[in-house]
Amino acid sequence: MKFKHTLRFLIAGFGVWIASASAQDFVKERVPSWMRLSGEMRLREEGFLGQGFREGADDMYLLQRFRLGLQVQPAPWLKGFVQGQDARVSFTGLAARAPHQDSADLRQAWVQFGEAATHHIEVRAGRQELAFGEERLVGASNWGNISRTFDALRVGFQSGGYRVDAFASSVVAPKDHVLDSHAHGEVLTGLYGDISSWVPHAKVQPYFLWSRTPSVLGETGATGSQHTDTLGVRWAGDLPKGLLYTMELAFQTGRWAGDRTHAWAGFWRIGHEFSALPLRPGLRLEVNHASGDSDPSDGRHGTFNVLYPTAHDKYGLTDQVGWKNINHIGLIADAKPVRNVVLQLKFHDWWLASARDGLYNAGGALLVRDPTGSVGTHVGEEVSFQASWTVSPHLQIGGGVGHLFPGGFLEHTTPGHGYTFPYVSLAYGF
């Protein structure tokens, strides 16, 4: 069975290589200078062993994604972009198709007036990606087979060393065999700034986000709307001795189906690349915290809302842990044995921030909860290895495997079997 999976991946990958090379030649020969044709063909064989932390709940499947986009710029102050996408999943057994499949649909379609870098202001309207900072709260989630876009109006202003983006949006809800539309009643508006010129050797990005969802479940079991106000800042820079650091803090207030929201989250990272040593090794230490709800019946909603993140691999390769009700320590070591090849070894350890709240995955969905809080808070550990090879500016090959070792919390609330996530990928873009 494993051999068949590998064989079909190699055959499909060879087809991607040939087709993409032909597409690139066509672009060079036929498209005028004021137009730019772009495309992506991506294959990823992935799967899981131990879904739900149950022995024998295994699956392997092939993800395929094709994108074709056209950008036109008839004048320096005017440009537009349209992009189609076909995302599919094949050879799946247990895996649901919904998160992976959206055949032949419109992914982006926007028009932009002005350019902030040259004209100080730009206005972009239409279906588009929104991605800010490290995308911990608002991102395109491009690891996913479908990824994420918004129907949005975005206005950017830039002058000197600072910039601010104001936007109003609604996330697009993918539906297979139906033209995608934005999620009715789901609204995300915000201001995202960059005031790096004010602080030497640092990038400082303050932001304010306001989100609304028409229907959520409150502590009492009643449904109602939620609105969340998020005030935060991302700060990254360098220290003496070649140390690099990043931190992000976010605080939330609002209402959650009648309950008052008081939540917060933080991220801290420090690292160093030893560029003078063989293999150019790097070492990073990461710490994450996201508040949980310590009392499910007090009318206070303490669980941090991750909004619309790009969360893959930020809190573990297996994506079984997200930035909600969690304390997390991560250690990442990487090396570059040859040009364009990167190897990474990662270790993660997690504890629940609040014992009576649950464990949430990378996308923010609840996996399991102990309302009594009596089984402990240690979620478990994960060890993962990843390798990537940039063969050319257009072709990338990668792969990896991560294994989650359940801690006391998972051993008592689930069957307690380990969870493994392997993958191998090939992407060709032009």
CATH number at residue 194: 2.40.160.100
What is the per-residue pLDDT across 316-370, written as a single tens digit (0 to 9) for each?
999 999 999 999 999 999 999 999 999 999 999 999 999 999 999 999 999 999 9
Is residue 3's pLDDT more than 60? Answer: no
* 5-23: b (≥16 Cβ within 10 Å) or e: beeebeebbeebbeebeeb
* 248-277: b (≥16 Cβ within 10 Å) or e: bebbbebbbbbbebebbbbbebebebeeee
User: What pLDDT shows up at residue 93?
Assistant: 74
User: What pLDDT shows up at residue 392?
Assistant: 94
Extract the tokens encoding 313. 């691999």
Interval 6-33 mean pLDDT? 59
Alpha carbon separation from 295 to 62, 214, 253 (Å, rounded)? 42, 24, 17
Q: What is the distance between the alpha carbons of residues 50 and 252, in angstroms, rounded to a whole number?
A: 35
Is residue 1's pLDDT more than 50? Answer: no
User: What pLDDT shows up at residue 23?
Assistant: 56
Maximum distance among all Cα pairs of the chain, rounded to whole angstroms = 67
Interval 123-135 mean pLDDT? 97
Interval 267-288 mean pLDDT? 93
Q: What is the distance between the alpha carbons of residues 153 and 144, in angstroms, rounded to a whole number?
A: 24
First CA to last CA distance, the chain: 33
Mean pLDDT, the chain, rounded, equals 91
Three-state secondary structure call for residue 29: helix
In the chain, the number of structural domains is 1
Name the residue with higher pLDDT: 166 or 175: 166
Interval 224-232 mean pLDDT? 95
User: What pLDDT shows up at residue 198?
Assistant: 81
Alpha carbon separation from 278 to 99, 273, 274, 281, 342 (Å, rounded)? 41, 11, 9, 7, 13
Interval 385-408 mean pLDDT? 97
Q: How much is the pTM?
A: 0.91
Interval 119-128 mean pLDDT? 95
State how far Cα 140 lies from the chain centre.
6
Q: Helices in 300-372 by DSSP H: which ranges?
A: none
For residue 393, give the H/E element and its range: none
User: What pLDDT shows up at residue 380?
Assistant: 98
Which structural domain range is residue 345 located in? Answer: 2-429
User: What pLDDT shows up at residue 95?
Assistant: 61
When mean pLDDT is compared across 90-94, 122-126, 303-307, the lowest value belongs to 90-94
Q: What is the distance between the alpha carbons of residues 275 and 145, in angstroms, rounded to a whole number?
A: 34
pLDDT class of 15 with cuts at 50, 70, 90 = low
Q: What is the distance between the alpha carbons of residues 375 and 124, in angstroms, rounded to a whole number?
A: 50
